[in-house]
Amino acid sequence: MVNRERNNRLLDTLKLPGNSQCADCGLPDPDWASCKVGVFICLQCSGVHRSFTESGKVKSIQLDNWEDERLVQFMRRNGNLEAKRKYEAFVPPFYYRPRAGDCDVLKEQWIRSKYQREEFMSNTEASYTTAPREGFLYKRGRDSKGFQERRFVLCRRMKGNNWDCGIIIQTPAREFVLTCENVKEQREWLEALRDVISRPMTREEIM
């Protein structure tokens, strides 16, 4: 009876704001909990939490017994919103927060960044936001499905807003990033492109 009451209180905690979705990927109706961090998580994200040697204890909300009253109170005091305020306080604006449908690697590194490496708990810039980055990546060609090794160099000065007269053309097959020498040229190209796009296509052009 006592264990049932504790489990009922835990289920009531799930109804509190922020707890109805996985703390890490946003999947609705999380059915696991991290007993160290105090968050409610989905089955897939719980596997990453379980791999933490220092804080890897996870429990099923429905299947496990929550016999420790202190643990139930801990989950109630913390929860997803409190963890978000603590572990995501200084997430950079550009940082991608994975969702439930994203690949496992993205979600795993997001979880490790938050709880294991604690990258977002202070306002200190991470090395990847301050230092140049260079190395080799495998790039797939537009027409070829194979990957080829290419060397990339990324510096802080190489930001997209450096191209004041840029034009981006998106088609179903490809995105074209272009830049003009001056604003007048940019405007003329944009007007010409709009004129072409606004014209109805003939049957011959479609075929």
Indicate the pTM of the whole model. 0.63
From 83, 116, 149, the end of a domain falls on 116
Closest CA to 114 of 186, 55, 177: 55
Cα separation of the two ends of the chain: 73
| Rounded Cα–Cα distance for residues 168 and 150 (Å) | 24
- Containing H/E element for 133? strand 133-140
| Rounded Cα–Cα distance for residues 69 and 62 (Å) | 16
Residue range(s) defining the domain that contains residue 173 = 160-206
Residue at 148 is within a domain: no
Q: Which two tokens stand for residue 80?
A: 């997803």
Domains in the chain, number:
2
Range scoring the smallest mean pLDDT among 36-50, 84-98, 113-127: 113-127
- Residues 101, 21 share a domain: yes
State pLDDT tens for residues 34-48. 999 999 999 999 999
| Rounded Cα–Cα distance for residues 48 and 94 (Å) | 24
Closest CA to 119 of 152, 97, 101: 97
What's residue 201's pLDDT?
66
State pLDDT tens for residues 152-195. 776 655 555 566 777 888 777 777 788 888 888 888 888 888 77
Residue 107's CB is within 10 A of a number of other CB atoms, namely 23
Residue at 190 is within a domain: yes
For residue 11, is pLDDT > 70?
A: yes
Residue at 153 is within a domain: no
Residue at 16 is within a domain: yes
What's residue 1's pLDDT?
43
Mean pLDDT confidence for 20-44: 95
